[in-house]
Structure 1
Amino acid sequence: MGLTNFILTVAGVSAVVLLLRSDVKQSATVFRRNVRHIRHWLEEESATASKEMEKKAKELSGKESAPKEDKH
Structure 2
Amino acid sequence: MALTNFILTVAGVSAAILILRSDVRNSSAIFRRNIRQIRNWIEEESLSSSSKAAEKVKPKQVDGQVHPKDTPKDN
Q: Structure 1 length normalisation: TM-score? A: 0.77
Structure 2 gap segments, 5+ residues each: 62-75
Please tell me the residue identity of whatever aligns with 1:15. A
| 1:2 Cα deviation from its structure 2 partner | 1.0
Report the aligned-residue RMSD: 1.7
Residue correspondence of structure 1 range 24-39 to structure 2 within 5 A:
24-39=24-39
Residue correspondence of structure 1 range 8-19 to structure 2 within 5 A:
8-19=8-19
Matched, 1:44 2:44: yes
Number of equivalences: 61
Runs of 4 or more off by more than 4 Å in structure 1?
A: none
Structure 1 gap segments, 5+ residues each: 63-72
| 1:36 Cα deviation from its structure 2 partner | 0.6
Between structures 1 and 2, the one with greater helix share: 1
Q: Residue by residue, what CA displacement relative to the aligned partner does 1:8-47 show, whole Å, maximum 9, x if unpaired? A: 0010000000011001101111111111111001100000
The percentage of counterpart residues that share the same residue type is: 59
Corresponding residue of 2:58: 58
Bigger Rg, which one: 2
